[in-house]
Structure 1
Amino acid sequence: MMMIVESKRQTEIAFRPFEPLAHQQATRKLASIEQLIEQAKYDEAKREAIDLIHQCLQGLRYYQTYDWRFLRSIVSVGYLGWIAYSLLFIVNTYVFEGGSRHLTSNIAPATKPEASSSVATRRFVYSYFDRRVLSACLWLLACWPWTLAASFRSHHRMLIGMWQLSCVVTSIFPLLPVEKGDDIMLVMAGGMATLVVGAVYLVKLAPRLHADASYNHSYYITLWQMLLIIVSMITTASSVRRLELRQGLSWWNQVAGWMTLGLSLVTPLLTSRQAQHYLHRLATIFLAFSPTFILLSISYPFRGWG
């Protein structure tokens, strides 16, 4: 119980403890029970102990559900954001577009996409109960290029191969157990893989996507983001090491973590004023969120030990 309280106290803003056991009340109740036992008042000690047990169970329930409202708010805002974005896309594409439309002639072509969307939506909902559904969906997506025209497949074999490989590799993760121990080597391997992707983009794609005037700008932005990824890897490794030794997070770890988190998320906003190739924008967003995932890879109990 005390570890949970300290974890919440150090990770929550405006923390509100469980009042029946706050302010050392649990310690005083334990001392009272021990005193009753020493005085041979066993019935009273038993009643006090049972009452304390019930309060501890209520306290555990309180702390387990402490973040539920916040987490539900985040999920709800995320869904509302996607709904608003989808609505704007539909309005801009189909409502504000000029020209006359014949509704009856468009019903038949729209039936198949609507049915596919309905089936896909139901599968994603069911994936909350069985994550293997996500793997099956990814396997179907890997087969999707074979439904395209033969001319397209012949001219984009490399692209199709990378698509299928990405789908198959991604399908492995839903099959892995959700609850697993901390593995800092796996986190570092993920960070290195992200750096490799950034380096490939920098060497192979960036020179072809930008004119000479804008290449230097995108080059330094990508290098900056890769540097932030390296800093996040070092900070995470150092934090895990200190927490394993029960030394707590140092001032440097906390400052480096928060600064890396903030700078990585702000960088795409500072570089969005000029027209950009969509692949460059995609690479920028991908590299921007990598430090966040690396820093948050430490398990929740570890974060509370600092």
Structure 2
Amino acid sequence: MVSLTKSDIKRSNSLFFKPFKPLVDHSSSLSQIDELISSKRYEAAMKLAVDLRNLSLEGLHYFQTYDWLMLMTVITLGYSGWMIVLALHVLQCYSSLSGDLSRKGQLSVQKKDSGKVYLSGCLLMAILSVLNLVEHSPPLYHAYIGMTVFLWTQIFSEHRLLRGLWRYLRERKAGYFIKLLFAAAVSVVVVELLVHSFTERKLYTWFFLIAGFVASILLHVSIPWRSGIPFFVCISCWFLSVFTLMPAEIPDNNNLVVISGAIIIVVSLAAKWLDTHAEGNKFWQSITFHESRKPMCSMLYCIQILLVGVSSVMVFLSTKHRTQNQELHSSHQFINWLVAGSSMVLPLFSGNGILSRLSSIFLGFAPPFLLLSIGYEAVFYSALAVVLMAWILFENACRYSSKAKDSSILEQNTEEHVTIGSDERYLQLSDVRIPLIFMVLFNVTFFGTGNFASIASFEISSVYRFITVFSPFLMAALLIFKLFIPFMLVICAFSAITKLVRVPRLGCYFLVILFSDIMTIHFFFLVRNTGSWMEIGNSISHFGIVSAQVVFVLLLFALTNLYTRTIRVKPLSTSPSLKTL
């Protein structure tokens, strides 16, 4: 039997072997079956044989998952250790905690103590490596255990920081712990929503309905004067919530794509009007700031508007030729490539204010997205951009309303050192909202118009406007590029917001990694080895996609940095009180 073979292999390699107890006396069961057959009691022999077969299958599963508990424990400890290391790094480098503990004499570093920790870690690693070699464990076992030991060695080497953190928390008042628990609860709820959205994308509808209502109420309280910002934020969130109710398989609707081009132009005109007419207002000065007014900016804006209009016309003409079974003209194909390629370069020459640069990026990626769209996903592009604008307005209002509060804190001469430099401040507990909102928007950019099943079943007409000859690699590249465009919009807005509120972008990115790892652990425990092939494949793919999301976001950060690195934000005031913003 296969289960006996597996048992012999494990017995010969394992130092502490645990047999499958129901099959320990399998030889007596076989002898009993032979006796029943000899006495012509076939029904009883058949029943005993079926029971033995079922036990053999259970034994096979037992030996196939023999190391399951050990591997689950090691991998979970590895992820937990990585998250703790990441959290300690954020606290040390991007928060005021390290400076507070140093001033209180709670963070004196002794290399001798750290050396003992590293020596103990090396000894433990050596012992575990020898045990794995004796048991002939696969190379991946060595990698899992080695990484886990390394991470926890790093944690214990920061024992003085951990003790200082414990003393720091003991000195806090009850109000601080209430805020801490509230932030933790909100973070857990959002992360769990993201986990379940992989199988139920309609959860985003409820999220944006609630977020629009809550954000509008907060803005109504924060802004001391009447404005349409709370209403705009609410309507934009509710508008985006509609798309996750639509089918993942996008139906062809050429007229909707053409109309969406007009919607993109209207949205950009509104942003341009705000950028031009609200620059003198103190509330808008952070997002409408320009170091210099370039004469070419207006001309650049007109060119981008023209390219969006041309792309809408080319969508109509290309689809008309296809529906009439006519071959796409080479001139049309050339114009499509030219419009899509040139439009993505133009944002590099736009103004350096937040609103002007993000509007130019929005217009720059609109032509290729329109030319690759076949239905309602073209409208989703504008809806996503409007929500990103609402996010910027929300953060700007929070920054504006916090000025007076931060000034009063400075006047009280507190010991809080909350600035890293002239351009950035330390992260605070309330800043957790920024990576959380980013993760929600980053995920809804895909789930707003599809699901994982729709990747493999895209409509060929979405790439017809660029290529008419069947080329699977080029077609797949165009599809992936189309999926990348909304992601890039979200990351550009995220980078602009970190500059607006003066928080370190790298610190926020580490928090994104932290929350992504929480999702990864959840998906790790949801991986299945039983059931249908689709269920097993989906569980593995979800775990793999979330694991790769960290690297994917990092690559897009590097790419979008070309567009966002020159963005400038005007301080709310030149007074020293701004150092506590």
2:569: which partner in 1? none
1:297 aligns with 2:377: no
2:195: which partner in 1? 125
**Rg larger for:** 2
Judged with a 3 Å threshold, the aligned counterparts in structure 2 of structure 1 residues 259 and 150 are, in CA distance, closer, same or farther, namely closer
1:234: which partner in 2? 313
Q: What is the distance in 2 between the residues matched to 1:146 and 1:122? A: 24
Give the CA deviation at 1:249.
Answer: 2.0
Q: What is the distance in 2 between the residues matched to 1:251 and 1:262? A: 16
Identical amino acids, percent of aligned pairs: 24
Q: What is the distance in 2 between the residues matched to 1:270 and 1:252? A: 28
1:195 aligns with 2:274: no
TM-score normalised by length of structure 1: 0.61
Q: Is the 8 A contact 2:216 2:234 kept in 1?
A: no
1:115 aligns with 2:182: no
Judged with a 3 Å threshold, the aligned counterparts in structure 2 of structure 1 residues 270 and 216 are, in CA distance, closer, same or farther, namely closer
Give the CA deviation at 1:151.
Answer: 4.2
Q: How does 1:193-232 map to 2 (within 5 A)?
A: 193-207=263-277, 208=279, 209=288, 213-214=292-293, 216-232=295-311
Judged with a 3 Å threshold, the aligned counterparts in structure 2 of structure 1 residues 283 and 116 are, in CA distance, closer, same or farther, namely same
Give 2:325's match in structure 1, choosing from 226, 246, 249.
Answer: 246
Judged with a 3 Å threshold, the aligned counterparts in structure 2 of structure 1 residues 279 and 202 are, in CA distance, closer, same or farther, namely closer
Judged with a 3 Å threshold, the aligned counterparts in structure 2 of structure 1 residues 150 and 94 are, in CA distance, closer, same or farther, namely farther
Q: What is the distance in 2 between the residues matched to 1:296 and 1:223? A: 23
- For residues 111-166 of structure 1, the C-alpha deviation after alignment (integer angstroms, 9 at most, x for no partner) is 32233222212212322222210100101111223553764255254111000010
Q: How does 1:4-23 map to 2 (within 5 A)?
A: none
1:181: which partner in 2? 251
Aligned partner letter, 1:100: D
Give the CA deviation at 1:181.
Answer: 2.3
Judged with a 3 Å threshold, the aligned counterparts in structure 2 of structure 1 residues 211 and 241 are, in CA distance, closer, same or farther, namely same
Q: What is the distance in 1 between the residues matched to 2:346 and 2:219? A: 39
Give the CA deviation at 1:91.
Answer: 6.8
Aligned partner letter, 1:131: R
Give the CA deviation at 1:246.
Answer: 1.9
2:573: which partner in 1? none
Q: Is the 8 A contact 2:212 2:238 kept in 1?
A: yes
TM-score normalised by length of structure 2: 0.34
1:282: which partner in 2? 358
Aligned partner letter, 2:308: I
2:93: which partner in 1? 95
Give the CA deviation at 1:214.
Answer: 1.1
Q: What is the distance in 2 between the residues matched to 1:188 and 1:197? A: 15
Q: Is the 8 A contact 2:216 2:231 kept in 1?
A: no
Q: Is the 8 A contact 1:202 1:219 kept in 2?
A: no
Judged with a 3 Å threshold, the aligned counterparts in structure 2 of structure 1 residues 217 and 125 are, in CA distance, closer, same or farther, namely farther
Figure out how many residues of one structure are paired with residues of the other and give that number. Answer: 215
Judged with a 3 Å threshold, the aligned counterparts in structure 2 of structure 1 residues 158 and 251 are, in CA distance, closer, same or farther, namely same
1:5: which partner in 2? none
Judged with a 3 Å threshold, the aligned counterparts in structure 2 of structure 1 residues 270 and 149 are, in CA distance, closer, same or farther, namely closer
Q: What is the distance in 1 between the residues matched to 2:314 and 2:259? A: 15
Counterpart secondary structure, 1:259: helix
Q: Is the 8 A contact 1:142 1:168 kept in 2?
A: yes
Judged with a 3 Å threshold, the aligned counterparts in structure 2 of structure 1 residues 187 and 91 are, in CA distance, closer, same or farther, namely farther
Aligned partner letter, 2:459: Y
Aligned partner letter, 2:293: S
1:81: which partner in 2? none
1:166 aligns with 2:239: no
Q: What is the distance in 2 between the residues matched to 1:93 and 1:224? A: 46
Judged with a 3 Å threshold, the aligned counterparts in structure 2 of structure 1 residues 148 and 97 are, in CA distance, closer, same or farther, namely same
Q: Is the 8 A contact 2:216 2:230 kept in 1?
A: no
Give 2:348's match in structure 1, choosing from 248, 269, 274.
Answer: 269
- For residues 205-258 of structure 1, the C-alpha deviation after alignment (integer angstroms, 9 at most, x for no partner) is 235336695153332222121111111111111111111122232211221111
